[in-house]
Amino acid sequence: MSSTLAEMMQQGAERATGEAGVAIDGLGTLARALEMKETASRLEATALQLRSDTFNLMVMGRFKNGKSTLLNALLGGTTQPVDLAGHQGPMIVDDLPATATLTGVRYADEPYIKAWSFEGKSESWPLDRYLRESTLDIDEQESERRFRHIREFEMGFPARLCKAGVVVYDSPGLDEHPTRTKVTQEATQRCDAAVLVYRSDVLMGQNELMNASDLVREGTRIFTVVNLFHARPADDRLMGFVWNRYVRDQLGGPAWAGQDLASRDIYFVDAERARRGVYGNDPELVEASGLAELERRLGDFLLRDRHHVHLKRYTTQATHLAQAVDQHIDQRVKAARTDQTRLREAYAGMLPTLSAIRSRPAKLPTLFARYRAEAEAALTTSLTARTTTMRDGLADHVEGVEVNLGKMLGVIQQKKAAATISEAVQQYITDSLSGWADAEAQDLLAPLLKHLADDIEVEIVAIGREFDALHLELTGWEVAPGGKPLVGTTERVLAAVAGFALGGLGGAVAGGAAGWRGAAGGAGAALGAAVVLGMLGVSPAAPIVIPAVLAASLLGSMGGGSFNLEKRLKRRAVEDADAGLRDLPVQLGPQLTERVRAGFEELENLVTQEITAVIEEEENNIRSMVEENQRDQHERDQALTRLGEAKTTVAGHLVQLQKALTTAQQV
């Protein structure tokens, strides 16, 4: 049998460790020998990040399409025995809809569960509780009570695939709840690939296709899986239907003429047979189920495309750091050849300038405070305007809701009518606030953060030029034509700001875990719609409008009998919802301000630490050059020999890094 997905991923990780990792380790050792402690620490961190590559894979689809069954098969069994209370895999499978909310599975020797709230707080659960309580209840109200505060679960589990560096996400049905659908949508932004699961017996309805295409972020690789229910064979009739329905009608491609569906990443898998084959150690059954072919294609994508992106990211970081080491060697060589008296006097004269440079990070708090205040004011004003727009359009929206009371005015029909209206109001508020969070709020933040990044860049460049001037005065060393001051520092700091701009200001989700699309520099998780909805009170906890609560209120307006009942229900719904929306900006102002403040403080600390660290290292480098220069001629000659050897070593490691990238492209 061909390699499993877990084995393919493990081989890819070993290639990265064996080529680029060795080069980065060598650079780190060299930097530490040169007493470049900060650069050495960054190189060591880069090597660790390279080796701890995480691939994020999401399994999506409507309720009962077999997502959890397929995911259990993809996980590939466990590396050690785990008591799963009779389940084959950690994802619960039932004959009724089971997956209640998003669950991310990552490797851990011992299983653990964290339930993350919409406020970014976590609660630890034992595995047996998760197996008992993480599924939907047969009573919808009980499900809402149980999961209304839970945004997603994080699971640590000894799955073979996860040990190879893959985090897999099991999503709830796309049509289960608007806020949970938003959680799923935002999770796709930190995923490298999405597996969309359809079932062969109820196949690819138009709404299902539209929901799936709307959820997946543009640029995310999509693997379409048709789950073969009831041992349905993947014959020409089924393949032709899927091709025309999906490729021709949905994607605008050609009509079916016997094409290879794998060319469009479409696969047919009997998920139940695959799961039995994996957990029964039956490779022939796995192959016959279609899972093996899907795994091969997934592995090919993750290693050839995704793995290359990962390697490029960290080899680029290492290259910048190697250039800093090379630059430092050149400065040391120049210093060793400089007249001792001249260098000693020049160093004494520049001490006040060094002190002034050391104080420059003290200017950053004022800069960040200005941009934070602008962000707070802009977002608060924008939210107030959006709330006004929502209130203005609420009555018309409710008026257009079809209730279809007809002549059936019994208690059950009246309750259904109240529920329909209240759910329509909930959807209206959810969609409106989602649109604000996904578009207007981001559009407001983007230019502010761009200007902040520009100001930070100006400060870094100014510091770099001051150090360059000191080196010129000290030894005559100059930046090479086209070179940059403080090599790599600007890139690192601006990457953090850019990550913050992309990621936004929301609370941590799943421990702040993010894939390759995640925010660089750890400046914060997404101010995406799901976080905003949770913060603003229209999550399943919904203190503004919960369908059940609003419906109960509407039932109180039925006392006047059946005359104009629909009109009275709608009028009451508008009045109740408007009362909640009216005070929304005032109630949520402090929360929004605190989110913005915390986000900017996090970014300020990150940028300040980065700039302070590079200033300290440059000062240490200058002191080391002066001390080395003051030694006798024999020691200076030995130092020059060592520095020449170090420069050759750096060049060799740079060649090795480029070779690693070339190898990744040829996988």
Q: What percent of the chain has pLDDT over 70?
A: 72
- Can you tell me the mean pLDDT for 143-151? 68
The pLDDT, as a whole number, for residue 336 is: 92
Please write the tens of the pLDDT for every residue from 571-628: 888 888 888 888 888 877 887 888 788 878 888 888 888 889 889 989 999 998 999 9
The pLDDT, as a whole number, for residue 33 is: 93
For the domain spanning 56-284, the CATH number is 3.40.50.300
Please write the tens of the pLDDT for every residue from 42-59: 899 888 878 776 778 888
Q: Is the pLDDT of residue 375 over 80?
A: yes
The pLDDT, as a whole number, for residue 187 is: 65
The pLDDT, as a whole number, for residue 484 is: 61
Q: Cβ atoms within 10 A of the Cβ of 201, count?
A: 9
Strand pairing report for 221-227 and 193-199: parallel
Please write the tens of the pLDDT for every residue from 113-144: 898 887 678 889 888 888 777 665 555 556 56
The pLDDT, as a whole number, for residue 497 is: 55
Cα dihedral 440, 442, 448, 453, rounded to 10, equals: -160
Would you say the C-alpha torsion 649, 651, 652, 656 has a positive or negative sign? Answer: positive
Sketch the domain layout of the chain as residue ranges. Answer: 56-284
**Can you say how many angstroms the Cα of residue 87 is from the centroid of all Cα atoms in its chain?**
30
Instruction: Tell me which amino acid residue 472 is.
Output: L
The pLDDT, as a whole number, for residue 510 is: 23
| Burial letters 163-196, b for 16+ CB under 10 A, else e | bbbbbbbbbbbbebbbbbbbbbbbbbbbbbbbbb
- 20 vs 19, higher pLDDT: 20
The pLDDT, as a whole number, for residue 664 is: 57
Question: Strands across the sheet with 193-199, in order?
Answer: 122-125, 112-117, 150-157, 102-107, 166-170, 55-61, 193-199, 221-227, 266-269
Greatest CA separation for the chain: 107
Strand (E) or helix (H) holding 287? helix 283-289
Q: Is the pLDDT of residue 527 over 50?
A: no
CA gap 536, 534 in Å, rounded: 5
pTM: 0.65
Q: Is the pLDDT of residue 243 over 80?
A: yes
Please write the tens of the pLDDT for every residue from 319-356: 888 988 999 999 999 999 999 999 999 999 999 999 99
Strand pairing report for 166-170 and 102-107: antiparallel
Q: Is 346 exposed, middle or buried (0-12, 13-18, 19+ CB in 10 A)?
A: middle
Whole-angstrom CA distances from 275 to 77, 202, 401 are 9, 21, 44
Please write the tens of the pLDDT for every residue from 262-290: 888 899 999 889 888 888 888 899 899 99
Please write the tens of the pLDDT for every residue from 413-441: 677 777 788 878 877 887 787 778 767 88
Q: Is 454 exposed, middle or buried (0-12, 13-18, 19+ CB in 10 A)?
A: exposed
Please write the tens of the pLDDT for every residue from 444-464: 887 888 888 888 888 888 888
Tell me the three-class secondary structure of 492-534, residue by residue.
Answer: HHHHHHHHHHHHCCECCCHHHCCCCCCCHHHCCECCCHHHHHH
| Burial letters 49-76, b for 16+ CB under 10 A, else e | ebbebbbbbbbbbbebbbbbbbbbbbbb
The pLDDT, as a whole number, for residue 409 is: 54
Identify the band that residue 182 occupies on the pLDDT scale cut at 50, 70 and 90.
low
Identify the band that residue 214 occupies on the pLDDT scale cut at 50, 70 and 90.
low
Strand pairing report for 193-199 and 55-61: parallel
Please write the tens of the pLDDT for every residue from 493-503: 665 555 454 34
The pLDDT, as a whole number, for residue 652 is: 95
Q: Is the pLDDT of residue 229 over 70?
A: yes
Q: What is the mean pLDDT of the chain?
A: 77
Q: Is the pLDDT of residue 537 over 50?
A: no
The pLDDT, as a whole number, for residue 406 is: 58
Q: Is 124 exposed, middle or buried (0-12, 13-18, 19+ CB in 10 A)?
A: exposed
Whole-angstrom CA distances from 614 to 35, 146, 357, 643 are 13, 49, 11, 21
Q: Is 67 within 8 Å of 172 (Cβ atoms)? A: no
Instruction: Tell me which amino acid residue 429 is.
Output: I
CA gap 153, 184 in Å, rounded: 12
- 96 vs 663, higher pLDDT: 663
